[in-house]
Amino acid sequence: MRRFQERVLGTGRTEISSSDGDVWLLGVCHNISQQESTANVDTSNEFAAFEQDFSSKILVTYRKGFDAIGDSKYTSDVNWGCMLRSSQMLVAQALLFHKLGRSWRKTVDKPLDKEYIEILQSFGDSEASAFSIHNLLQAGKGYGLAVGSWVGPYAMCRTWEVLARNQRETDNLAEQPLPIAIYVVSGDEDGERGGAPVVCIEDASKRCYDFSRGKLAWTPLLLLVPLVLGLDKINPRYIPLLQSTFKFPQSLGILGGKPGASTYIIGVQGDKALYLDPHEVQQVVNINEDSQETSTSSYHSNVIRHIPLDSIDPSLAIGFYCRDKDDFDDFCSRASKLAEESNGAPLFTVAQSQKFSSQATSAPGNTGFQDDDSIAMDVANEAGNNEDDWQLL
């Protein structure tokens, strides 16, 4: 299995060289380019900090030996579950940010945090675990998810939206396993509008308000942005923009990889995409209080794999976590600036409302972001003239 995936993804490499520049890992810059040589990585404080940050990210891989999924006979997701596993990693990271903060690191010299253990337990491989592969497949039936079949980023994002909604309807609000509202950013509900997706501020606000059952004006927010940036390969114009998203403090990385082999991309160094690989097959484990260190070791990796950023599948999804309204406003400001620097071909744009996002003319307002949708309309026109750049989501 590993040999097959290496033929698809390329062999995992750990040659992170200081000569290739700094590493951006989910919004944090590791200044390893200041080091003289990678020969001293063991004594390099900067490189050691990067390695600890990388290895603290939750890894979710293929598992075998779990209870059969639904009415099927599948007790493993080998060869077909990599997109589900990649998405579990992204949401697990959002929960780590939410509960323990971006600076959290897994340590071996002191007891593990209770919140960390609870997060891992929620991604166990049984129906009892809130975000198990079993429950994801059930929630995603309306988007074509099926046992034994591969799934794309758009359907995966929508599945998380459904699963979160189902959890909210059945659990006490204060005790939800996912205490974060989800906003899937796309052209429309069916993902059928061409052009760059629009982050609508009013829509984001409504997601938060509905999530809190009208009790709060704003809540923590997980934004998922499914994109298709070309046909067989990513249009080169989008590569610098993808790189820049990892500099956002809200960055949760990218669901992407090679066709049919999804990974969780968590960082960039120059033109290289650093990722966690879900394709290793591991025995199912139960996280418990008695043997925490043993049972959690399979959820982390210090193997730093990378592939050329321009070689990943053009069908992907970007994630962002906004802790509060100020954090969301900061995200919108950064996203608007990035769109302005995109030469008329942004990954996505920001508008106050759907009305603004659908109008070609400017509209007055004082949001501080894109009240008109000039950039989005430029991209829609650009997409009409360059069908190889944008596909329907």
Name which of 86, 33, 12 is nearest 302 in CA terms. Answer: 12
Instruction: Please tell me the number of Cα atoms within 13 Å of 251 on its side-chain side.
Output: 23
Catalytic residue, chosen from 30, 53, 77, 82, is 82
Residue 332 is among the residues annotated as catalytic for this protein: no
- Cα(115)–Cα(120) distance, integer angstroms: 9
Burial label, 111 (beta-carbon count in 10 A; 0-12, 13-18, 19+): exposed
Q: Which of 279, 322, 373, 378 is catalytic?
A: 279
Contact 314, 334 (CB under 8 A): no
Known active-site residue 277: yes
Q: End-to-end alpha-carbon separation of the chain, Å?
A: 30
SS3 content of the chain, % helix, strand, coil (to 5): 40, 15, 45
Spatial separation of the C-alpha atoms in residues 229 and 238, rounded to whole Å: 7
17, 40, 299 from 295: Cα distances, Å = 32, 32, 8
Name residue, tokens 């998405």: 87
Catalytic residue among 277, 313, 371, 372: 277
User: Could you give the residue numbers annotated as active site?
Assistant: 82, 277, 279
